[in-house]
Amino acid sequence: MSNKVPELPKTSQKHREKSSVLYGRLLKEYVLHYKFRLIAAIVFMIIGAITTSATAFLMKPIVDEVFFEKNPEIVLFTTIAVVFIFTLRGFSTFGQAYFMQWVGNRVVADIQRDLFRKLIFADLAWFHENSTGQLISRFVYDTNLLRLGSTQALVVFTKDSLTAIFLIGSLFYYDWKMALIIFVALPPGAIAIRQVGKLARKASRRVLEQTGTFSTFLEEAFQGIRVIKAYSHEEQMRLKGDKEIEHRFRYQFKAMRIQATSNPIVETISGVMIAFVIYYGASRVTAGETTPGTFFAFITAVMLAYQPIKSIAKIAPQIQNSLAAAQRIFDLLDLVDEVVEKPGATPLELHKGEVEFKSVGFGYGAEEPVLNNISLSIPAGKRVALVGPSGGGKSTILNLMPRFYDVSQGEILVDGQNVKDVTLKSLREKFALVSQDIFLFDDTIRANIGYGRDGATDEEIQSAAKAAAIHDFIVSLPEV
């Protein structure tokens, strides 16, 4: 099993878009469709940020008025205030989570819907060039990663940023000199986190690609299990499986290691910052320049601001993971089909059913042409057998008639009408294809027999089953 990931067609091979462009597109095309729920969530976030900041303000009266002034009225006030603040914070957290989770899951469902709609109408050639495992990986794994970028990032950058702003504002209220210490420490940390984010996006893209490769491997192994067992190749497949799993582990571990790099950066900077604040603040208390209550309120605000700042730092690499997934999703959504209807295409008018190839040439991509200057006529009502070696172009000729692919030269006519001049629906309705590949949909036997013939009656279904010599087998099944 090769570790090479099948490349997308050239129509989607474009420069990697900037993070701001990708995120802006994600917001504009999906997230902002639900702006009223987002506004409701943001209101709850603001309430949560205010209640968190209010906790720091309670420290000054608690320390100065209760412990030093022995004021009993303040005890009752602070007790009631704490109950009220924490209750309000609980309701705000629930409201924020309710609306943001709804938006996040709705956005994922919308992206999966658009992706399925896009691919179900994509060219057959595109499906032959891209494995099913890769596509399933993008539908399931990549779209779920987008939930982080579309909603959780908004939660962090809105709620945590507001909380940090309110708390830092309280720091300036209490002592602007001590507050400046924090601002001196923040820029170096922000720069370091930004660099970690760039590395995280690159690592995440590799994880996503390897996940697709692994999905392809599993698909081939399970679908081909009969062949594997027929030739006693279980051990060989086990070794390949071990190799694929090991590759995926290494990519995942590298991505997690890069994400974890933000932790020591944040912890170190925070430790230095808090140490300076404690030293400076304690010095002012001992010198009589400020009260113990003010100092404890300041320290409380610093400690409360630590968590939202840390969350913002941790979310940056995770957002890059989400944007790597967004790049892969938008690559698919931006696919340009090659087999398309001409403007003004008319329905195919079938009279006799004669098919004619005129100097047809065709090749798969940049490969050697499979058909070169082929001319043939298939009269109406006649049976024609195409005989030749494997790879000689027999299946290709069949695939060209209903325009699964388009000829590179020449033309194909049905009753004198060029297949490129008629609508795809009317063209394909006139063809009945019995493939050499056996495939059944996960549906009833009736639905499988009648597939492609909407409105087929029970009598027509039974006649088809009898013609295929499977009627007796069907009626013998227990749930028919």
pLDDT digits (tens, 9 = 90+) for 317-368: 677 777 778 888 888 888 888 888 888 889 988 888 899 999 998 888 766 7
Calculate the alpha carbon distances from 343 to 224, 228, 416 in Å: 43, 49, 19
Q: Is residue 123 scored above 50 in pLDDT? A: yes
Average pLDDT over the chain, rounded to an integer = 79
42 against 205, higher pLDDT: 42
Calculate the alpha carbon distances from 296 to 58, 283, 303 in Å: 10, 13, 10
Q: With bands split at pLDDT 50, 70 and 90, how would you rate the model's confidence at 36?
A: very high
Can you state the angle between helices 72-120 and 35-61, rounded to 10 degrees? 160
**Same domain? 454 vs 402:** no
The reply to whether 295 falls in a domain is: yes
CATH number of residue 57's parent domain: 1.20.1560.10
Can you state the angle between helices 234-260 and 262-286, rounded to 10 degrees? 20
For 425, left (φ over 0), alpha (ψ -120 to 50), or beta? alpha
Q: Contact 422/348 with Cβ under 8 angstroms?
A: yes
**Same domain? 269 vs 397:** no
Which of 55-64, 65-74, 156-165 shows the lowest per-residue confidence on average (mean pLDDT)? 65-74
**Same domain? 367 vs 228:** no
The reply to whether 439 falls in a domain is: no
Please count the structural domains in the chain. Answer: 3
pLDDT digits 0-9 by tens, 432-468: 777 766 777 777 888 888 877 777 888 888 888 888 8
**Same domain? 322 vs 232:** yes
**Same domain? 423 vs 460:** no
CA distance 464 to 450: 9
The whole domain housing 321 covers 10-333
The reply to whether 5 falls in a domain is: no
The reply to whether 22 falls in a domain is: yes
**Same domain? 396 vs 263:** no
Domain ends where: 300, 333, 366?
A: 333
The reply to whether 340 falls in a domain is: no
Calculate the alpha carbon distances from 55 to 299, 395, 435 in Å: 12, 74, 71
Average pLDDT over residues 265-282: 74
Structure tokens at 407: 């000829």
CATH number of residue 368's parent domain: 3.40.50.300
**Same domain? 292 vs 411:** no
Residue with tokens 């504009």: 28
**Same domain? 68 vs 42:** yes
The reply to whether 392 falls in a domain is: yes
Query: Which secondary structure element, helix H or strand E, spans residue 374, and what is its range?
Result: strand 371-378
What is the reported pLDDT for 6?
37
What is the reported pLDDT for 40?
93
The reply to whether 185 falls in a domain is: yes
Q: Contact 317/262 with Cβ under 8 angstroms?
A: yes
CA distance 12 to 366: 17
The sign of the CA dihedral 93, 99, 105, 108 is negative
The reply to whether 129 falls in a domain is: yes
**Same domain? 414 vs 454:** no
CA angle 200, 203, 204 (to 5 degrees): 80
**Same domain? 315 vs 360:** no
Domain ends where: 298, 333, 368?
A: 333
CA distance 217 to 225: 12
Structure tokens at 91: 């309701």
**Same domain? 19 vs 125:** yes
Which of 106-110, 112-116, 208-212, 267-271 shows the lowest per-residue confidence on average (mean pLDDT)? 267-271
**Same domain? 176 vs 32:** yes
Q: With bands split at pLDDT 50, 70 and 90, how would you rate the model's confidence at 8?
A: very low
Q: Which of 153-157, 161-165, 407-411 has the highest mean pLDDT?
A: 407-411
Q: Contact 204/321 with Cβ under 8 angstroms?
A: yes
